């Protein structure tokens, strides 16, 4: 009862607000844009709240609270006021209509169903026009069109694929299903849909953190490699930094030295690398186990 009284009071106040003449509207818009005059903003928005209420009433069939729709429309109205350019020869109401409608539609898409129907321009067009077009087609002619024919005509009218029309129709027609609802499976008779939503993969922040750490370690190692001479770098690269590490014997043949000499050079190069890594960044002491 209290909510209904509040709504009536709001509607009454909006309808009682005076209309703005074109020149007055322009002057108020200039004051708001150039001087951030709050009183000017209040007069502009108050004069156009009847537009918000009128548009909210067009979306009342989606089952969402009228007060919430008006509130979202008011957000769009404020956004329009912030972006309006009074030097252009356009009435504020014409400009604000788009922002008010867009704000309400986004709110409906976010809240109409637990499972959203899509947020692309094509999905929005389907969501807000499917019922109207379906009703119009059902009323036209002496016999109702088949479902396939209806989907085809709506597809042509909105410029979207027929499969998208069918999918949206199913979403709008079917009830929401709770994630806690039981699902009978071979493994468990009391499992719920929630049990099948677990994703064992690492979280995105963990993946990004690992990538950053890998890049940092790679940079540290690359800088440390500068302390090695050409032969030491070649041995470390072939022995430690390739997927299939070369053997001491194969490197000895390649470099014309014994495999024991290759081992000595490798050990010396590793000691130089450890020293360089620890000197450049003490936190990299763990890298000493290369």
CATH of the domain at 81: 1.20.120.1810
Q: What is the pLDDT, as a whole number, of residue 239?
A: 84
Q: What is the pTM of this model?
A: 0.46
Q: From 109, 100, 144, 110, select the one nearest 128 (Cα to Cα).
A: 109
- The total number of structural domains in the chain stands at 3
Confidence class of residue 58 from pLDDT cuts 50, 70 and 90?
Answer: confident
Tokens in use for 271? 């000691």
User: Domain check: are 74 and 164 in the same one?
Assistant: no
Mean pLDDT of 255-271: 89
What are the tens digits of pLDDT across the range 137-193? 666 655 556 777 777 887 777 777 788 777 777 666 655 555 556 666 555 556 665
Final residue in a domain of this structure, among 60, 78, 111:
111
Give the chain's largest Cα–Cα span.
99
- Any domain includes 79: yes
What is the percentage of the chain residues whose pLDDT exceeds 70? Answer: 66
CA pair distance 60, 73, nearest whole angstrom: 13
Q: Is 188 part of any domain?
A: no
Do 228 and 162 have their domain in common?
no
Q: Do 107 and 12 fall into the same domain?
A: yes
Q: Which of 89, 111, 133 is the last residue of a domain?
A: 111
- The residue count for the chain: 290
Report d(CA 178, CA 69) in Å as an integer. 25
Instruction: Convert the pLDDT of each residue in 89-129 to its tens digit.
Output: 889 999 999 999 888 888 887 776 544 555 566 666 777 76
- What dihedral do alpha carbons 196, 202, 204, 206 form, nearest 10°? 150
Closest of 69, 64, 67, 131 to residue 100, by C-alpha: 69
**Residue 102 confidence (pLDDT):** 86
**pLDDT at 115 (0 to 100):** 45
Q: 99 and 71 in one domain?
A: yes
Pick 261 or 192 by higher pLDDT.
261
By residue range, what is the domain housing residue 219? 204-289
CATH number, domain of 246, equals 1.10.10.10
């Amino acid at each position: 009862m209290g909510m209904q009284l509040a709504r009536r009071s709001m509607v009454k106040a909006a309808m009682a607000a005076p209309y703005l003449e074109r020149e007055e509207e322009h002057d108020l818009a200039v004051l708001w844009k150039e001087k951030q005059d709050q009183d000017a903003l209040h007069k502009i928005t108050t004069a156009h709240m009847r537009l918000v209420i009128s548009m909210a009433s067009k979306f009342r069939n989606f089952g969402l609270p009228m007060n919430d729709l008006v509130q979202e429309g008011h957000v769009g109205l404020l956004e329009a006021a912030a972006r309006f350019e009074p030097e252009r020869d356009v009435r504020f109401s014409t400009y604000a209509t788009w922002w008010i409608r867009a704000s309400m539609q986004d709110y409906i898409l976010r809240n109409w169903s637990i499972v959203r129907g899509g947020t692309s321009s094509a999905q929005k067009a389907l969501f807000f026009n499917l019922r109207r077009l379906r009703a119009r087609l059902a009323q036209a002619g002496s016999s109702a069109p088949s479902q396939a024919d209806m989907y085809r005509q709506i597809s042509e009218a909105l410029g979207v694929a027929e499969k998208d029309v069918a999918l949206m129709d199913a979403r709008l027609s079917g009830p929401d299903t709770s994630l806690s609802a039981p699902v009978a499976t071979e493994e468990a008779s009391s499992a719920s849909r929630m049990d099948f939503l677990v994703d064992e993969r690492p979280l995105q922040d963990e993946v990004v953190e690992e990538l950053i750490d890998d890049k940092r370690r790679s940079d540290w190692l690359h800088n440390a490699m500068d302390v090695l001479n050409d032969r030491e770098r070649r041995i470390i690269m072939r022995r430690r930094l390739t997927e299939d590490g070369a053997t001491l014997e194969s490197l000895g043949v390649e470099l014309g030295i014994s495999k024991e000499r290759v081992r000595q050079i490798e050990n010396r190069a590793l000691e130089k690398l450890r020293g360089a890594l620890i000197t450049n960044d003490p936190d990299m002491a763990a890298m000493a186990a290369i």
